[in-house]
Structure 1
């Protein structure tokens, strides 16, 4: 099974704010994306491209993945976003984030354009992609989207625009206004997660707009982590540490994983297909889960 890239925290930063971009570059986020879309007023979106390029070229980003969210491919800005940012930043750009993907064709369009630009510039590395699924059509076609290009590193669940597309009655934190029996976004989350697992890429959970509620953010992140998500958006630097902590295996989980593997290997050497640890069954499925925990631990501690 492919181990997805480390994406515990993805920090959103308006490309128009040099102060925020500089601060983001020095953060502990696994990925920072400079936003050319929703965080930028339409009148400033073309100007924002140049600011994004300067930030990518001039700041020290350390090991943080450097990304830019372009405008949707059905807008008048998308083509210019890709061309200007890629030609301007070149090897200093790692990833493009494509919003509002509705089917595989949307990803294909960006992939083809990127390939042509890379060949024309003679770039030494391929630019990666992440895709936002935030529309009812995108949810319905999640698997097609996730498997549309070998450039893809992650699919991201976006509850905000999906609320509009779905016609949902939610508050500003994308939670139902009326009592709802269960997780309001469970179906959409599972569609995105399942698609990511099929493609062998990361699944990233939606933003949590109420950055003044760290407990709420952590609880939301724990729910997503329990399902199998690899990380979560952060719309404020204060949310980075919360995401990094939630999506990192605990010391107890790591110790348990190691004990399970050791016990199973010992039993296997004696010709047994299962054993027990602390009074609980350990078989091949438990070993796979343990190996996954250790892989996540290794990635998070590099």
Structure 2
């Protein structure tokens, strides 16, 4: 998978028309830095955005995975996006497919873009009620790398509030389905531009639910998201202690710092240790 988990757990997105922001996005310490051809670009500007977006992928001084959010492949603009992307001299490592509602959406993108020596990571943006009704089928797509929750479009369609409580069910459903399919899920951005405490609280809740990372609406949010989702030194030390206790007990139930631990605790601790070792 192209996504570099050790770089960070934040996903940032930059409008393709704002090429002056590209260097900032590349330097934001995000796991994935996307250039946007979809919601941030007016219909009349789509072709100009496609032309400007190619410059985004020529960066050589970033450790982030560089990707693109295209338009839905079931639209004319989405088809034009695919034609443009296929012709780029520098191409994205990751393609985020909005309004995904079937595995065919992923297969269509792969069939157009896959080429000798180039198979981009393809992720689905899950943001409609129909998509949630078809999650098992979507997540079975062989070329699917992961899923991202689109809270704004979902809430607008359902006409529900964008509060944590109103969207808790679909968030949990997405994490559950993604875990069953063995792929990561990224939470929707927090749209609080100037409230780092609200961002941190929402990121912590997303992590508690099982999300692998979280979207960001501004590069300065990346540091908070990375701090929340990447294991702290305290978490790493405890995880190593649990792994050691499991090995010592032959993976039988034992105790660490007064807490009973067993098989599921050992598995969770090994995952934390693996993340920490990869980051180093």
Q: Please, what TM-score do these two structures have when normalized by structure 1?
A: 0.87
Contact 1:52 1:85 in 2 (8 A): no
Is structure 2 residue 117 aligned with structure 1 residue 129? Answer: no
Quote the residue 1:178 is aligned against.
none
Contact 2:95 2:121 in 1 (8 A): yes
**Matches of 2:28 and 2:258, distance apart in 1:** 43
Is structure 2 residue 27 aligned with structure 1 residue 35? Answer: no
> How far did residue 45 of structure 1 move?
0.8
**Matches of 1:294 and 1:266, distance apart in 2:** 17
Q: How does 1:44-193 map to 2 (within 5 A)?
A: 44-57=45-58, 59-90=59-90, 92-115=91-114, 118=115, 122=116, 124-150=117-143, 152-168=144-160, 170=161, 174-175=162-163, 183-193=165-175
**Matches of 1:26 and 1:273, distance apart in 2:** 45
Encode CA deviations 1:32-69: one digit per residue, 9 max, x unaligned.
10000001111111111111112212x33422101011
Q: Which moved more, 1:35-44 or 1:105-114?
A: 105-114
> How far did residue 281 of structure 1 move?
1.2
SS of residue in 1 equivalent to 2:13? strand
**Matches of 2:156 and 2:263, distance apart in 1:** 44
**Matches of 1:209 and 1:86, distance apart in 2:** 32
In structure 2, stretches of 5+ residues that fail to align are: none
Is structure 2 residue 199 aligned with structure 1 residue 217? Answer: yes
Q: How does 1:195-234 map to 2 (within 5 A)?
A: 195-234=177-216
Quote the residue 1:179 is aligned against.
none
Contact 2:4 2:31 in 1 (8 A): no
Q: How does 1:283-302 map to 2 (within 5 A)?
A: 283-299=262-278, 301-302=279-280
In structure 1, stretches of 5+ residues that fail to align are: 176-181
**Matches of 1:104 and 1:167, distance apart in 2:** 26
Encode CA deviations 1:183-203: one digit per residue, 9 max, x unaligned.
221111112112221222211
Contact 1:25 1:60 in 2 (8 A): no
Quote the residue 1:273 is aligned against.
252
> How far did residue 244 of structure 1 move?
0.5
Q: How many residues align?
A: 277
Name the larger-Rg structure. Answer: 1
Encode CA deviations 1:195-221: one digit per residue, 9 max, x unaligned.
221222211000111211111111001
Contact 1:5 1:202 in 2 (8 A): no
> How far did residue 5 of structure 1 move?
5.3
**Matches of 2:267 and 2:56, distance apart in 1:** 41
Contact 2:11 2:213 in 1 (8 A): yes
**Matches of 1:285 and 1:51, distance apart in 2:** 48
SS of residue in 1 equivalent to 2:249? helix
**Matches of 1:28 and 1:89, distance apart in 2:** 25
Q: Please, what TM-score do these two structures have when normalized by structure 2?
A: 0.93
